[in-house]
Amino acid sequence: MKPFSIVVTTALVVAIGWMLGPGAPWWLEHVDGVTSLTGKDLAAAVDAVRGRVLAVATGLAALGALFYTARNADTARRTFQLSERGHVTDRYGKAVEQLGSAQAPVRLGGLHALEQLAQDNPGPEFRQTVVDVICAYLRMPYTPPADATDPAEPAVPRAAVAGVSAPSTGRDPHEERQVRLTAQRILHAGTSSSLEMLGRSTGR
């Protein structure tokens, strides 16, 4: 709690306490202008003043509770968002690291992990980051196997992306070819999904 809030809260508590005690008769006389009452009538009027004070105090307490509940909820939301961002960053880093593995199944796992991240985080900036990383992988030096029968791999957009390790020597060309075909499929699927989302937004 900030110092100003502490001062205001303390002042309100003191004022309410005073009004519930000796302040009620003073308020009745100097603010309400009631000076002719005595006995039971005076006591009833003083109790009425105190009742109004209690009603105001209850309302202020309710407003304060709502304010602090909203602030705590906002703090919790921000904390959750920071935690989620950290989790996404960690998953992204591990996926990119997998692309530099000498084992084809590990590289495939990295590609699928990036694909899943792009699906879980549909923001255009993050999707573009995933696309850039996969394109950077496909631009790396590669010699297709001599017995390859499929058409040459299509060209991909060029983008300067750091963090993807260069392919290790000694990789099986057939396995690497399957990895690259998977990368192209992911890029094609991502492009189709983006165009579909664009069509939905423009068709509204």
Q: Determine contact, residues 118/130, Cβ cutoff 8 Å.
A: yes
Query: 106-126, pLDDT tens digit by residue?
Result: 999 999 999 999 888 867 888
Distance CA 202, CA 195 (A): 11
Query: 146-198, pLDDT tens digit by residue?
Result: 775 554 444 444 343 444 544 445 688 999 999 999 999 999 886 656 544 43
Retrieve residue 170's tokens. Answer: 């000694």
Q: What is the distance of C-alpha 179 from the center of its chain?
A: 33
Domain boundaries, the chain: 3-79, 99-202
pTM confidence score: 0.53
Retrieve residue 142's tokens. Answer: 């590669």
Query: What would the mean pLDDT of 66-92 be, rounded to a whole number?
Result: 86
Q: For residue 69, give Cα distances in angstroms to 65, 75, 78.
A: 6, 10, 14
Instruction: Give me the torsion for CA of 118, 124, 126, 132, rounded to 10°.
Output: 90
Distance CA 48, CA 63 (A): 23
Cβ atoms < 10 Å from Cβ of 136: 19
